[in-house]
């Protein structure tokens, strides 16, 4: 699998790395990846397509910059980056989000409805309900995590990183896994590599996910919505139904695979998105 071209977007001094997965005229398809992933997650979906597919590495992931000393990651930051990217691309986009990227997409499409032509959510409808919704408990875990930050995850080689991805995601194409490993790691000497993402992403967030505010954004979305669930979804059916009901007449599709559908069923997803944006 060949490496797509890319460019860098400056957002308030932070460098956001943007992949051009497929080139064409017209309104671009902007794809937002999930937690601990990268823009190249959508590479196979865009391959051979006749649309323009653009996928940023969200801040702190892939080849985008980390926030640095004193910084932290919030959904509002991802929205700020996305707003800058949409403006750089001409002001309107077809928006696709997987997992965490789907949550970001809902917030953005609700807050900036005039800038989103269509919305596609792939297993991306917010966090699961958790028993640990106490802000006190989570804040303690957050402060403890900052006091004792996680170490970078190191692997013996690039081949080991590729093998780790294939082990965790059996539906992933080996060439795609190699591409993800190449751009998701840094060499650290003696042939060893470490994952590039900012380890602050591994620290427990002090803020629980609140469903009702998420549903408020979903109700504000005016773009046509395609929601894609995996046959082996990590969302319980009652959560799927409750959150889906917040959108106006969404199209619902179910695709064979796990939560990681961009890895498991890229061609099926690409065809669904191509049809949805027409």
SS3 letters across the chain: CCCCEEEEEEECCEEEEEEEEECCCCCCEEEECCCCCCHHHHHHHHCCCCCCEEEECCCCCCCCCCCCCCCCCCHHHHHHHHHHHHHHCCCCEEEEEECHHHHHHHHHHHHCHHHEEEEEEECCCCCCCCCCCCHHHHHHHHHHHHHCCCCCCEECCHHHHHHHHHHHCCCCCHHHHHHHHHHHEEEEECCEEEECCCHHHHCCCCCCCCHHHHHHHHHHCCCCEEEEEECCCCCCHHHHHHHHCCCCCCEEEEECCCCCHHHHCHHHHHHHHHHHCC
Pick the CATH number of 5-131+207-276 from 3.40.50.1820, 3.40.228.10, 3.40.50.1580, 3.40.1360.10: 3.40.50.1820
Quick one: 176 exposed, middle or buried, by C-beta within 10 A (0-12, 13-18, 19+)?
buried
| pTM for this model (two decimals) | 0.96
Nearest one of 40, 10, 6, 11 to 23, comparing CA atoms? 6
Q: Return the ∠ at Cα 126 (arms to 83 and 225), rounded to 5°.
A: 65
Beta-bridge partners for 55? 19
pLDDT for 58 equals 98
Q: Which residues contact 47 (CB under 8 A, 6 or more apart)?
A: 1, 21, 22, 266
Cα dihedral value 262, 267, 270, 271, nearest 10: -140
Name the one residue in this structure whose structure tokens are 């640095």: 68
pLDDT tens string for the chain (278 positions)?
778 999 999 999 999 999 999 999 999 999 999 999 999 999 999 999 999 999 999 999 999 999 988 888 999 999 999 999 999 999 999 999 999 999 999 999 999 999 999 999 999 999 987 756 688 988 999 999 999 989 999 999 999 999 999 999 999 999 999 999 999 999 999 999 999 999 999 998 888 888 999 999 999 999 999 999 999 999 999 999 999 999 999 999 999 999 999 999 999 999 999 999 99
pLDDT for 69 equals 81
Q: Return the ∠ at Cα 152 (arms to 147 and 157), rounded to 5°.
A: 165
What is the C-alpha separation between 108 and 82, in angstroms, rounded? Answer: 8
Which strands, in side-by-side order, build the sheet including 185-189?
154-155, 192-195, 185-189
Nearest one of 253, 249, 254, 252 to 221, comparing CA atoms? 249
CB 61 within 8 Å of CB 18 = no
């Amino acid at each position: 699998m060949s490496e797509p071209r890319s460019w860098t977007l400056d957002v308030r001094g932070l460098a956001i790395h943007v992949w051009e997965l497929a080139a064409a005229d017209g309104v671009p398809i902007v794809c937002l990846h999930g937690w601990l992933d990268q823009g190249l997650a959508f590479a196979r979906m865009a391959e051979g397509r006749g649309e323009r597919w653009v996928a940023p590495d969200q801040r702190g992931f892939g080849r985008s910059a980390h926030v640095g000393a004193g910084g932290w990651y919030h959904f509002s930051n991802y929205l700020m980056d996305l707003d800058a990217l949409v403006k750089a691309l001409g002001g309107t986009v077809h928006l696709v989000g997987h997992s965490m990227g789907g949550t970001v997409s809902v917030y953005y499409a609700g807050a900036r409805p005039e800038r989103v032509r269509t919305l596609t959510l792939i297993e991306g409808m917010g966090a699961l309900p958790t028993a640990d919704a106490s802000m006190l408990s989570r804040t303690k875990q957050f402060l403890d995590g900052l006091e004792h930050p996680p170490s970078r995850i190191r692997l013996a080689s690039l081949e080991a990183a590729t093998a780790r991805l294939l082990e965790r995601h059996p539906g992933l194409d080996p060439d795609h896994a190699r591409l993800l490993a190449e751009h998701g790691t840094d060499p650290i000497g003696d042939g060893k590599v470490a994952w590039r993402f900012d380890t602050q992403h591994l620290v427990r967030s002090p803020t629980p996910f609140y469903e009702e505010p998420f549903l408020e954004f979903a109700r504000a979305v005016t773009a046509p919505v395609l929601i894609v669930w995996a046959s082996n979804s990590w969302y319980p059916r009652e959560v799927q139904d409750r959150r889906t009901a917040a959108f106006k007449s969404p199209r619902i599709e179910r695709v064979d695979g796990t939560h990681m559908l961009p890895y498991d069923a890229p061609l099926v997803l690409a065809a669904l998105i191509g049809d949805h944006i027409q």
